Amino acid sequence: MLLSFIIAAVLIELTPGPNMTWLAVLGASRGQRSALAAVAGIALGLSIAAVVAGLGLTALLTASETLAHALRWAGTLYLLYLAWDAWTAADHEIDLAEGSPSRSFTQGLISNILNPKAYLFYAAMLPQFIDATRGTATQIATLSAVYVLIATLIHGAIALLSGRAAIWLQTSPKKILVRRLLAVAIALTAIWFFVSTRGMA
């Protein structure tokens, strides 16, 4: 059962989504330090979503159309804000050694707290791998921890790989153009996020 869950979690996390896109852009634009801080923020956000789902509070999201709409809009608008932030920072010199880890951590945390798909994932996915003959709470906690660990490892790899691109961008004559194209990629991801979560509200 656990092995099946691990395989499912890996496949889900390897599917391109808001976290993957934003981390790739962040790493390429601001370096590994900022991207790794964002990974920590995302991990905390996913953990919070797991606790919410584990307490059964996700039912509030599915029962309240207003709440679902609000969370969907908030998540989309925040992604658009991240796109705008990346766009406006495109022509600024960035100190890769210093970075802005605390800001990136906060952005990663907020973007996942405002992601309704994170809450619904736990509510829909975890029950499929729960053994009714064993303690439910312990299994939920274990599976949630395993999922967050897998997500963090994959996100960390993306942060490290994309961070290498930031070194190249520092000296590239087209760095402003590339950074702005990356910002557009986040904006397109925000639109995709809004469309893909339409059925959740």
Residues 6 or more apart whose CB falls under 8 angstroms from that of 16 comprise none
pLDDT at 56: 75
Domain count, the chain: 1
pLDDT at 64: 76
Range of the domain at 154: 2-10+18-200
pLDDT at 164: 82
Query: What one-letter code names the amino acid at 181?
Result: L
The stretches in the chain having pLDDT less than 50 are none
Residue among 140, 187, 179 at smallest CA distance from 162:
179
pLDDT at 94: 63
CB of 90 closer than 8 Å to CB of 26: no
pLDDT in tens, 146-194: 999 999 999 999 999 988 877 776 677 777 787 788 889 889 988 988 8
